[in-house]
Amino acid sequence: MNAKTPCYLMWVLLTAFGGQASYSQQPRGQFLTDTIEIGSPFQYVLSLRHAPNKDVFFPSTNAKYGPFTFVKQEYFDTQTDASGSLDSAVYTLISFDIRPVQLLSLPVYVLSNTDCTAVFTQPDSVILRSILPPKVDKRTTLRASDFVLPLKQQLNFPLILLIVVSICVVAGAIYGLFRKRIRRLWQWYLLFTEQREFSVAFKRLVRNLQGKNGLESAEKSVIIWKKYLEKIEKRPFTTYTTREISDNFADNQTLADALREIDSVIYGGTDPKQAARPLDTLRALALQRYRMRQDELKTTMLA
């Protein structure tokens, strides 16, 4: 038996359940308080006087305690005298039930030669004491408040930092695994955008050959063609003369003839309109070199 049980509980047990001249066939159980509050612990005493040669068992932790929740239990040492043996226990319970009156009846199990019989106490009751404020008078009028308290918006910097770090980690892992392919894709994209810009600008200058600034348009067409070819071939075509360019494409006689015709327009005072056909030859060569470079990048990406 727990020696820390308050002495006044022992006194209550002995005065309430002791002093009987004969053995009781029914256990006694009662609350040590008349009123309880929701969520506050209270105690219940269970006792049985029986013949000394009888074995009895009290409810354990897993028993059902009605509307109450079990908290703990404390047993007293068996008291044996001329009146018989007295077994007692104190249960600490909590209630979360809102019924005003709550009942409890617990069993004590008496072991015999043939079976184990459950004998229940007479129900005992406690009254739930409400801690809620009194009801509002129906005549009371409630006035709504339209005052709004402005809240200052705050950035969740830890969350933002976590997202940024996660994105950087994922991006770094992807780049580490597919670094070469990503670089090839980026080069392929740059090659595509440069070709599109060159094509638009070159076609516009060729159309302007019909105007009063036709000679200037022919000259600018050759300049942007050299710059574009320089990016694709990785050679300084902008510094090359017509002959040097022809030497770099020695197997392309059509290109050499086109370059000479354009020079005759620019430096010989020929009608600028005559530069349209040779300029088209230059554009076709640029498109050919673009497609060759594009195929090279695709081959390296698939390797």
Tens of pLDDT along the chain (303 residues) come to: 344 445 445 544 554 444 444 565 689 999 999 999 998 999 999 998 888 888 888 998 888 898 999 999 998 888 888 888 889 999 999 999 989 999 999 999 888 878 888 889 999 999 998 776 666 555 666 666 666 777 777 788 888 999 999 999 888 888 777 777 788 888 888 889 999 999 999 999 998 888 888 888 889 999 999 999 998 888 898 899 888 888 888 788 888 888 899 888 888 877 888 888 999 999 999 999 999 988 888 887 666
Q: What are phi and psi of 241, to 5 degrees?
A: -85, 175
d(CA 11, CA 168) in angstroms, rounded, equals 73
Please list, in sequence order, all residues whose beta carbon lies within 8 angstroms of the beta carbon of residue 57, skipping any fewer than 6 positions away: 108, 109, 111, 116
Domains of the chain as residue ranges with CATH: 7-128 (2.60.40.10), 158-302 (no CATH)
Dihedral Cα 37, 43, 48, 52, nearest 10 deg: 170
CA dihedral over 15, 18, 24, 27, signed as positive or negative = positive
By the 8 A CB rule, do 49 and 20 touch? yes
Please list, in sequence order, all residues whose beta carbon lies within 8 angstroms of the beta carbon of residue 87, skipping any fewer than 6 positions away: 47, 48, 50, 56, 58, 75, 76, 78, 108
Taking the complete model, does pTM exceed 0.75, yes or no?
Answer: no
**SS3 category, 89:** strand
